């Protein structure tokens, strides 16, 4: 008689434990789901604003080439075309990052080379950087001054490729 | 317990992942990428992409590849080798362990790694919307106790409870779900940005044991890039007599182009490199334009890929195993995306490697899965099924009305309210169908049942709620309930989700093949139903308010209705034909209805009485609306 009660006690315990486990799992899944909902809403809001980011990044490469061409050709007509192009991009939320002669800022600029020039200041911009609304779409590629007439040799010694 | 995140703390790049809803997923960084460089500037507190951007400028204070110093003695080979190439000072610290000296301060490798882990933690918290206190961190399988301890310490400095240190190949195997399979031996082939690692793992009772590891700590995707860059520079020199290797600016552009070309060639057999105005010569601008074929790329890097074979052989030898003992080969690391690499692996091991998991993310995902297991998130990974094909019932006109769309995750429950097709219909037949075609007879019948005892009512009035409920085991329960009487009938259908892949494919293809025809058929049925409704409604109006119409009007209307009915009954009728007759009849009815209202309106002016009549003639319209609401069940 006693044995039977004992076994049904553990049976109940097992069932209760399982119940607690299931409840916890359920709550977890519910929580995950709610998080997904929240994130989905956030992403949706972001999506509209930044959906063009990938496309714009590609198009900027073409603008780079046009500007490069203009530096060599000095054509009045091409100048107008480039201005138009830039205007169109500005209307999409693109903003140029001012880098020339600015103090170097790794948040918006990528230092490609260290050359002689004013210390920690941008000596030359190799590729323009842009913001899309308030986010950095593409950092400016710049040459930064070392403050000394010679380049720091050590940075070249690192075989670490970047 | 909050979520346990999984962190792949790599030599060159790091990634972080978490389990959500039973699935491991990569957490994007604050910059929106899936991985970030393992680069730290501890003085200015910069980590990741930001640190990388100022690395050249601030080389003495920017630490890269700190993983190579973790748990290493200063006098050891690794530390000495790193000292040679690092722009910052590496010295002996406490207990002779290697420490980094920069900016007048001393940092242990753990403190530097901690900064990387802190970023991972912060990004995870932003993503999850809450605090993260626990993590699983991965290390190479060959890491010794000292190195593992250092990694754990780094976690603690970062404010993380390191629940477990997991081997990278094991984490990858978890990401591939291999722990669910039978006991077997697998090989993890990891070719990343800077290092190559091959591991032999034995799986037994859900636990992985590392049998052997080997590799090349200075062989990776970066070396492949270098070959392409060299080739481009050489070709340009041949054609233009200018050595771009000396032009840092040009080199930077070539480097980007080379990496892009390498990636493109994994998907195409040829790619173009276009870099206009790459340099100047004799005052003239020069342009870099060339094509690279996949064959050429493979030729350029062949010896590099072959270099991975020797470590594979050695690992097998150490594990005392033969190639044929290996049940599966899984690929990790971005470079394994290259078709030639996959081919060489397949060739050597004699089997197709498994590449179903994103090779850049596998390790982080696996760490997250381990984290999920520890936190009890995932006891037995609950893989939920989906219904492979749409489920629905047959409605008026032999149309299939879907209730649960295909690829809906189960368990799932959907309900819809239907109604009767004819006046005083006493019962409805629920004919359950499975398939993608719009016409009922073209789909598979799963079962049917009848709900009777529906009280006499005009068509479209009764409300029959039909519910489809599939449980996690794929058992479908269909019920039909008369909302008025509460009377209910149900049926249970097993194996509603059990279809062979071939069968599902076949049905999908058939649906596509007949899509045009089916669409036309359905349009015809819909048009016929529309016409049918008009006929019945109009006849009702004529019956109820016939005295308001004069005889000639009634005759005209009746004639057009008859013609419409004839058209519907014709076997070879078309949607256009029915539509024409339908339009005629509709216009006719509207014309007379308008006249009716006009007459009622004129009567209205002097007294209130005619309003009652006005209301009466509104009834048919209200009826019409109601009938169109619910789909009609036969």
From A137, which residue of chain B is nearest by alpha-carbon distance?
A: B31
State pLDDT tens for residues B62-105: 999 899 999 999 999 889 988 888 889 999 999 999 999 999 99
- pLDDT greater than 50 at residue B612: no
Does B409 touch chain A if contact means CB atoms closer than 8 Å?
A: no
* pTM of the complete model beyond 0.90: no
ipTM above 0.85, yes or no: no
From A144, which residue of chain B is nearest by alpha-carbon distance?
A: B57
**Highest mean pLDDT range out of A90-99, B589-598, B605-614?**
A90-99
Q: Lowest-confidence range among A96-105, A142-151, B448-457?
A: A142-151
Interface of B with A in 217-236 (CB under 8 A): 222, 225-226
| Chain B hits for A42, Cβ within 8 Å | none
From B37, which residue of chain A is nearest by alpha-carbon distance?
A: A162
> Beta strands of B282-352 (E only): which ranges?
284-293, 328-332
Q: Work out the percent of chain B whose per-residue pLDDT is above 90.
A: 51
Residue with the two structure tokens 């993590």 = B135
Greater pLDDT, B300 or B573: B300
Beta carbons of A36 and B20 less than 8 angstroms apart? yes
Nearest Cα to Cα of residue B275 among A143, A141, A61, A142 = A61
Nearest Cα to Cα of residue B210 among B150, B140, B145, B163 = B140
Interface of A with B in 66-105 (CB under 8 A): 68-69, 71-72, 104
Among B31, B46, B50, B53, the strongest candidate for a mutation testing the A interface, having the largest count of A CBs within 10 A, is B53
Residue with the two structure tokens 């006991």 = B183
Beta carbons of B137 and B7 less than 8 angstroms apart? yes
Query: Quick one: angle between helices B551-569 and B515-545, nearest 10?
Result: 150
> Is residue B395 left, alpha or beta, with left meaning phi > 0 and alpha meaning psi from -120 to 50?
beta
pLDDT band at B384 (very low <50, low <70, confident <90, very high): low
Q: How far apart are CA B260 and CA B271, in angstroms?
A: 9
Interface of A with B in 112-151 (CB under 8 A): 112-114, 120, 126, 135, 139, 141, 144
From B30, which residue of chain A is nearest by alpha-carbon distance?
A: A135
Residue with the two structure tokens 């490069």 = A68
| Chain B hits for A58, Cβ within 8 Å | none
What mean pLDDT comes out for the span B193-205? 88
User: In which element (H, E) is residue A117 found?
Assistant: strand A109-119
Catalytic sites of B, residue numbers: 8, 67, 168, 190
**What are phi and psi for residue A97, nearest 5 degrees?**
-90, 120
Q: How far apart are CA B134 and CA B146, in angstroms?
A: 21
- pLDDT greater than 80 at residue A95: yes
Q: What string of DSSP letters covers B178-231? A: GGGS-SEEEEEEEE-SS-EEEEEEEEETTEEEEEEEEEETT-SHHHHHHHHHHH
Does A62 touch chain B if contact means CB atoms closer than 8 Å?
A: no
pLDDT at A6: 53
For β-strands B4-9 and B134-139, DSSP reports them as parallel
How many angstroms separate the CA of residue B407 from the nearest CA in chain A?
Answer: 18
The two structure tokens encoding residue A8 = 């049904």
Q: Lowest-confidence range among B1-15, B54-68, B381-395, B419-433?
A: B381-395
How many other CB atoms are found less than 10 A from the CB of residue B355? 17
Beta carbons of B402 and B533 less than 8 angstroms apart? no
What mean pLDDT comes out for the span B185-213? 89
Residue with the two structure tokens 């892009």 = B260
CA B253, B258, B263, B269 dihedral sign is positive
Nearest Cα to Cα of residue A83 among A97, A100, A66, A59 = A66
| Chain A hits for B285, Cβ within 8 Å | 72
pLDDT band at B496 (very low <50, low <70, confident <90, very high): low
Q: How far apart are CA B115 and CA B45, in angstroms?
A: 8
State pLDDT tens for residues A139-159: 999 999 988 765 444 444 444
The reply to whether residue A157 touches residue B87, judged by beta carbons under 8 angstroms, is: yes
Q: How far from B185 is each of B217, B321, B325, B404, B612, CA to CA, in Å? A: 24, 9, 7, 42, 87
Mapped onto helix, strand or coil, the DSSP state of residue B122 is helix
- pLDDT greater than 60 at residue B248: yes
- pLDDT greater than 90 at residue B543: no
Q: How far apart are CA B47 and CA B112, in angstroms?
A: 10
- pLDDT greater than 50 at residue B523: yes
What mean pLDDT comes out for the span B462-466? 94
- Please name the residues in contact with B141: beta carbons below 8 A apart, sequence gap of 6 or more: B167, B168, B169, B170, B197, B199, B210, B213
Nearest to A106 among B53, B65, B276 (CB): B53
User: In which element (H, E) is residue B619 found?
Assistant: helix B610-629
The reply to whether residue B85 touches residue A157, judged by beta carbons under 8 angstroms, is: yes
pLDDT at B1: 54
The two structure tokens encoding residue B539 = 């006849």
- Three-class SS of B403-471: EECCCCECCEEEEEEEEECCCCCCCEEEEEEECCCCEHHHCEEEEEEEECCCCCCCCCCCCEEEEEEEC
Q: Lowest-confidence range among A158-162, B194-198, B403-407?
A: A158-162
pLDDT at B408: 80
For β-strands B328-332 and B184-191, DSSP reports them as parallel
pLDDT at B135: 97
Does B2 touch chain A if contact means CB atoms closer than 8 Å?
A: no
Alpha helix (H) ranges present in B98-204? 109-128, 145-157, 168-175
Greater pLDDT, B258 or B553: B258
Beta carbons of B378 and B22 less than 8 angstroms apart? yes
pLDDT band at B609 (very low <50, low <70, confident <90, very high): very low
State pLDDT tens for residues A16-59: 988 988 887 788 778 778 878 887 888 887 777 777 888 899 99
Beta carbons of B537 and B619 less than 8 angstroms apart? no
- Please name the residues in contact with B619: beta carbons below 8 A apart, sequence gap of 6 or more: B544
Q: Work out the percent of chain B whose per-residue pLDDT is above 70.
A: 92
Does A153 touch chain B if contact means CB atoms closer than 8 Å?
A: no
pLDDT at B497: 59
What mean pLDDT comes out for the span B252-277? 91
Question: Residues A129, B13, B203, CA angle at the centre, nearest 5°?
Answer: 150
| Chain A hits for B377, Cβ within 8 Å | 28
Greater pLDDT, B268 or B32: B268
The two structure tokens encoding residue B55 = 């690395």
- pLDDT greater than 70 at residue B249: yes
């Amino acid at each position: 008689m006693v044995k039977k009660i004992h076994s049904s006690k553990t049976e109940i315990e097992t069932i209760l434990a399982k119940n607690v486990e299931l409840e916890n799992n359920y709550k977890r899944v519910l929580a995950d789901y709610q998080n997904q909902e929240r994130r989905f809403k956030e992403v949706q809001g972001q999506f509209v604003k930044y959906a063009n980011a990938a496309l714009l990044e590609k198009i900027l490469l073409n603008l780079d080439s046009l500007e490069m061409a203009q530096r060599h050709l000095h054509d009045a007509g091409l100048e107008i075309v480039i201005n138009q192009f830039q205007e169109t991009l500005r209307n999409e939320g693109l903003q140029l990052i001012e880098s020339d002669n600015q103090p170097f800022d790794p948040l918006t600029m990528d230092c490609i080379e260290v050359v002689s020039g004013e210390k920690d200041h941008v000596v030359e911009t190799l590729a323009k950087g842009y913001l899309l609304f308030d986010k950095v779409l593409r950092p400016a590629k710049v040459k930064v001054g070392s403050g000394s007439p010679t380049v720091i040799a050590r940075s070249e010694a690192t075989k670490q490729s970047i | 317990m909050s979520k346990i995140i999984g962190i792949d703390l790599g030599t060159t790049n790091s990634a972080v992942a978490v389990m959500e809803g039973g699935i491991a997923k990569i957490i994007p960084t604050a910059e929106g990428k899936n991985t970030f460089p393992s680069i730290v500037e501890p003085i200015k507190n910069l980590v990741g992409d930001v640190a990388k951007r100022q690395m050249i400028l601030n080389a003495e204070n920017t630490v890269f590849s700190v993983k190579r110093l973790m748990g290493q003695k200063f006098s050891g080979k690794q530390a000495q080798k790193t000292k040679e190439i690092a722009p910052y000072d590496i010295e002996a610290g406490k207990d002779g362990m290697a420490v980094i000296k920069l900016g007048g301060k001393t940092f242990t490798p753990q403190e530097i790694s901690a900064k990387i882990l802190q970023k991972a933690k912060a990004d995870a918290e932003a993503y999850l919307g809450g605090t993260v206190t626990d993590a699983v961190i991965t290390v190479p399988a060959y890491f010794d106790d000292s190195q593992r301890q250092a990694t754990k310490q780094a976690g603690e400095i970062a404010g993380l409870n390191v629940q477990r240190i997991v081997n990278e190949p094991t984490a990858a195997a978890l990401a591939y779900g291999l722990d669910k399979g039978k006991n077997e031996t697998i090989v993890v082939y990891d070719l990343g940005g800077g290092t190559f690692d091959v591991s032999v793992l034995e799986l037994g009772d859900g636990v992985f044991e590392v049998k052997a590891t080997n590799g090349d700590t200075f062989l990776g995707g970066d070396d492949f890039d270098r070959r392409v860059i060299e080739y481009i520079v050489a070709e340009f020199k041949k054609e233009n007599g200018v050595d771009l290797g000396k032009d840092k600016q040009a080199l930077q552009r070539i480097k980007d182009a080379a990496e892009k070309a390498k990636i493109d060639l994994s998907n195409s057999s040829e790619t173009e490199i276009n870099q206009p105005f790459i340099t100047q010569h004799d005052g003239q601008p020069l342009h870099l334009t060339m094509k690279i074929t996949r064959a050429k790329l493979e030729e350029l890097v062949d010896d590099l890929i072959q270099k991975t074979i020797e470590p594979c052989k050695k690992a097998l030898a150490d594990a005392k195993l033969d190639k044929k003992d290996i049940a599966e080969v899984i690929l990790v690391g971005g470079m394994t995306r290259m078709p030639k690499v996959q081919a060489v692996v397949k060739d050597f091991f004699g089997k197709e490697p498994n590449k179903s998991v994103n090779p850049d993310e596998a390790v982080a995902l696996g760490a997250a899965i381990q984290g999920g297991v520890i936190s009890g998130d995932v006891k037995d990974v609950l893989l939920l099924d989906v219904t492979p094909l749409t489920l629905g019932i047959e409605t008026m006109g032999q149309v299939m009305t879907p209730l649960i769309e295909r690829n809906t995750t189960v368990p799932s429950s959907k309900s819809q309210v239907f109604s009767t097709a004819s006046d005083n219909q006493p019962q409805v037949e629920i004919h359950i169908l499975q398939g993608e075609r719009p016409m009922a007879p073209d789909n598979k019948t799963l079962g049917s049942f009848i709900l009777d005892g529906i009280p006499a009512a005009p068509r479209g009035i009764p409300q029959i709620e039909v519910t489809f409920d599939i449980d996690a085991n794929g058992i479908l329960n269909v019920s039909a309930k008369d909302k008025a009487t509460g009377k209910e009938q149900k049926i249970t259908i097993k194996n509603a989700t059990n279809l062979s892949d071939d069968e599902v494919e076949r049905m999908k293809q058939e649906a596509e093949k007949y899509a045009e025809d089916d669409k036309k058929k359905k349009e015809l049925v819909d048009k016929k139903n529309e016409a049918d409704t008009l006929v019945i409604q109009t006849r009702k109006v004529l019956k109820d308010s016939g005295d308001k119409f004069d005889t000639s009007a009634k005759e005209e209307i009746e004639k057009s209705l008859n013609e419409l009915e004839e058209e519907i009954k014709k076997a070879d009728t078309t949607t256009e034909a029915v539509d024409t007759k339908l339009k005629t009849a509709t216009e006719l009815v509207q014309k007379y209805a308008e006249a009716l209202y006009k007459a009622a309106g004129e009567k209205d002016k002097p007294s209130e009485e005619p309003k009652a009549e006005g209301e009466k003639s509104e009834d048919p319209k209200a009826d019409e609306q109601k009938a169109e609401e619910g789909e009609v069940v036969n």
